[in-house]
Amino acid sequence: MKGNEAIAEAAIIAGCRHYFGYPITPQTEIAAYMAKRMPKIGGTFLQAESEIAAINMVYGVASTGLRVMTSSSSPGISLKGEGLSYLAGADLPALVVNVQRGGPGLGGIQPSQSDYFQATRSGGHGDFRMIVLAPSSVQEMAELTVKGFELADQYRMTAMILADGTMGQMMEPVALDLDVKPMPEKQWATTGTKMNRPHNIVNSLFLDPAALEQTNFERFERYKFIEENETMYEEYLTDDAEIVIAAFGIAARVSKNAIDEARKQGIKVGMIRPITLWPFPVAPFRKAADKAKAFISVELSMGQMIEDVRLAIDCKAPVTLCNRVGGMIPSPEQVLESIRQTAASLGGAN
Amino acid sequence: MVVFDKPHALTDAPLHYCPGCTHGIVHRLVAEVIDELGIEGQTIGVAPVGCSVMAYNYFNCDMIEAAHGRAPAVATGVKRANPKENIVFTYQGDGDLASIGMAETVHAAARNENITIIFINNAIYGMTGGQMAPTSLPGQVTQTSPYGRDVNHCGYPIRVCELLSELEGPEYLARVTVNSVKNIKAAKAAIKKAFQNQIDGKGFSLVEVLSSCPTNWGMTPQKALKWIDEAMIPYYPLGVYKDRSAKEEAK
Amino acid sequence: MAKLTFKTDLCKGCGLCVDACPKHLLRLSPDAINKKGHHPAELTDEAACVGCAFCATMCPDCVIKVER
């Protein structure tokens, strides 16, 4: 199954019956898949007039408590920025998929990870976060979609799948026997008072600054809890690692090959693969920093996650960047070379 | 025997609108229609950004605050979530509907989305202090057209009902006003039909209400109602601009 | 004979009701001031009012309740 289609099928398995999209490479397969499947299962697929309209349709369905999603690619996600901020301000659960492409501007259509900051720091205006999940296999594209819906509902916020063109276009076997937790009760939803309760209001306007401050404090209490309890990552050969690679998505797959090769050459290198980009897995990096003497951040960007790695280890060890951009993908050889240079620099050191 | 009182669908919250602003009248008409159709329990309203941004405090049905211009898209989502159970309406100003939200308006109409849109046309941006709107009249003085709107410089005001009537999609488009008791009664009838269309599943129904803005027009409430007759109605003639089922019945 | 009840604190003294009354029975109170600092509308001749509710129809703030 294609990565994009795995996301779509997993969303349906997770109980999502509403999808709003707009054509943009490299994620249009998600929309096409939903266009075929939703009508067959009593769901709603609608192609919106723009990504802005699509995210606001998501806002509408989310207000009624039903599971809903949209997907796009980098420029489309920029258009959804205001909507993402409104979803956060109104504490609405939703799933948003970004199959990244090279940027900035119209950029390219090849894979990229240059929306890392956009996803983890500035999806839109105001203090808010999104749960950002980074799959690095088609199986994870499916599993993290279900996980995304569950986390979004549990914490009343947006969960974003941050994939890239390769993940979306890649075909791999997928086990779709995903178990889905039941949806929580949503008393706050606007489904009509049925004349038996006061009206619910879904809103992010608080002209009274004290009230607006309070909503921010409460939201950040939830974010703190999420940071402490929902962080996800994978470690690979880090127990004895003197050099640790930080990489997610496609960059992690490339790095694994390079690590195996480097190990053959006697270099003690390992990898920490963040699965949640927010909340960022600080703990494993901090632990690794006790032993490791250097870190390498392998990214398809000009260096964005590298900042989180430095923050996680309080700059205790040097973190170098190994990257390609614009749609170019770092090769295992390039990563191996970066490992060898780092090892050499350490070699000289001790 | 009570002849006239505040409709149940309106909350007791005092309206923040300026003295003499006819937003309050249109709120009441929408609420009266909701009461008369007995749909308050199923209705969900979508408020815009503009003077009526806090409309969610004034209606007793469930309410949602939409981003500026996006109410028709939000309403589309809400309606498609529970199409049989819920009646969905948006309440929007001219900046919201005909400027930033024009694409959402045109496409919701083109889709014949089964929602009801109450469109307040007061030819100005009220909440932000009186700037030129897409419906500001030629020569109209506003904060951003201080020398009077110059059509050669910034173009012509948009007649939304006429614009949308060219589309195959929408079911019902009507322009009314609320500057006299007679006109208010006619406006209420149009609003009721717009909601009834949704109940009957006929699709996109929009009622454009020519409304006053005494504060930003710089007029007394009374003069503002006259200005609707003298200046607005000549440019925005009242009437039904599309009524698909009536046309079909007439065949 | 009709009975008008005014929620005087909601009145913004806009005067639309005064103009709407066909028998000119309403006025803004010359001396009373409501909570918002406006001169609220009031009925000058209760006996003459037939409860046509024109005033209430024109009122943007649902100030006037009309009973017959």
User: ipTM score here?
Assistant: 0.92
| Beta-bridge partners for B176 | B209
Would you state the pLDDT for residue A350? 42
Helix (H) or strand (E) holding A117, with range, is: helix A116-120
Domain harbouring A321, CATH code:
3.40.50.920
Chain A: closest CA distance from residue B183 (Å) = 31
Touching partners of A (3+ C-beta pairs < 8 Å): B
Would you state the pLDDT for residue A349? 46
Domain C-terminal end among A206, A229, A252: A229
Domain that holds residue A144: 3-229
Q: How many domains does chain A have?
A: 2
Residue A300 lies in a domain: yes
Would you state the pLDDT for residue B251? 82
Instruction: Tell me which chain C residues have a C-beta less than 8 angstroms from the C-beta of B17.
Output: 60-61
Comparing CB atoms, the residue among B42, B64, B104 nearest residue A202 is B64
Residues A130 and A151 in one domain: yes
| C53 inside 8 A of chain B by CB | yes
Please, what is the average pLDDT of chain C?
Answer: 96
| C28 inside 8 A of chain B by CB | no
Instruction: Tell me which chain C residues have a C-beta less than 8 angstroms from the C-beta of B225.
Output: 16
Would you state the pLDDT for residue A348? 57
Residues A259 and A188 in one domain: no
Residues A41 and A189 in one domain: yes
Decide if pLDDT at B180 tops 90.
yes
Residue A66 lies in a domain: yes
No. of H helices and E strands in chain A? Answer: 13, 13
Question: Which residue is associated with the tokens 């951003």?
Answer: B144
Residue A9 lies in a domain: yes
Residue A301 lies in a domain: yes
Decide if pLDDT at A266 tops 50.
yes
Question: Is-contact A140 A195, C-beta < 8 A?
Answer: no
pLDDT tens per residue across span B187-221 = 999 999 999 999 999 999 999 999 999 999 999 99
Contacts of A141 (CB under 8 A, 6+ apart): A3, A4, A6, A7, A10, A135, A161, A163, A167, A174
- Crossing angle of helices A81-89/A51-63, nearest 10°? 20
Contact B222 C54 (CB under 8 A): no
Banded model confidence at residue A347, pLDDT cuts 50, 70, 90 = confident
Question: Is-contact A113 A164, C-beta < 8 A?
Answer: yes
Domain that holds residue B74: 23-250
Cα–Cα distance between A43 and C63 in angstroms, integer?
46
Contact B61 A199 (CB under 8 A): yes
Residue B1 lies in a domain: no
Residues A99 and A126 in one domain: yes
pTM (whole model) above 0.90: yes
Residue A208 lies in a domain: yes
Residue A350 lies in a domain: no
Comparing CB atoms, the residue among B41, B73, B106 nearest residue A192 is B41
Q: How many domains does chain B have?
A: 1
Question: Is-contact B92 B67, C-beta < 8 A?
Answer: no
Instruction: Tell me which chain A residues have a C-beta less than 8 angstroms from the C-beta of B43.
Output: 192
Domain C-terminal end among A195, A229, A263: A229
Q: Does chain A reach chain B with at least 3 CB pairs under 8 Å?
A: yes
For a pLDDT cut of 70, what percent of chain A falls above it?
99
- Crossing angle of helices A3-13/A138-155, nearest 10°? 40
pLDDT tens per residue across span A149-205 = 999 999 999 999 999 989 999 999 999 999 999 999 999 999 999 999 999 999 999
Q: Which of B77-81, B246-250, C25-29 has the lowest mean pLDDT?
A: B246-250
Domain harbouring B149, CATH code:
3.40.50.970
A201 to chain B: closest CA residue: B63
Contact B74 A56 (CB under 8 A): yes
Q: Among B4, B209, B225, which would you mutate to test the C interface (most chain C Cβ atoms within 10 Å of its Cβ)?
A: B4
Residues A109 and A179 in one domain: yes
Domain C-terminal end among A211, A229, A247: A229
Residues A112 and A128 in one domain: yes
Residues A69 and A40 in one domain: yes
Residues A90 and A217 in one domain: yes
B4 to chain C: closest CA residue: C66
Question: Which residue is associated with the tokens 């269309």?
Answer: B197
Domain harbouring A94, CATH code:
3.40.50.970
SS3 of residue B225 by DSSP:
helix
Residues A38 and A138 in one domain: yes
Q: Among A190, A204, A206, which would you mutate to test the B interface (most chain B Cβ atoms within 10 Å of its Cβ)?
A: A190
Question: Is-contact A67 A38, C-beta < 8 A?
Answer: no
> According to the 3-state scheme, what is the secondary structure of A166-192?
HHHHCECCCCCCCCCCCCCCCCCCCCC
Residue B126 lies in a domain: yes
Comparing CB atoms, the residue among B10, B21, B181 nearest residue C58 is B181
Residues A240 and A219 in one domain: no
Touching partners of B (3+ C-beta pairs < 8 Å): A, C
Residue B50 lies in a domain: yes
Residue B195 lies in a domain: yes
Mean pLDDT value of segment A199-222 = 98
Contact A192 B59 (CB under 8 A): no
B180 to chain C: closest CA residue: C58
Nearest to A16 by CA among A4, A8, A5: A8
Residues A93 and A211 in one domain: yes
Residues A238 and A325 in one domain: yes
DSSP string, A271-325: EEEESEEES--HHHHHHHTTT-SEEEEEESSSSSHHHHHHHHTTT-S-EEEEE--
Q: Among B40, B42, B44, which would you mutate to test the A interface (most chain A Cβ atoms within 10 Å of its Cβ)?
A: B44
Which overall architecture, per CATH, does domain C3-67 show? 2-Layer Sandwich (3.30)
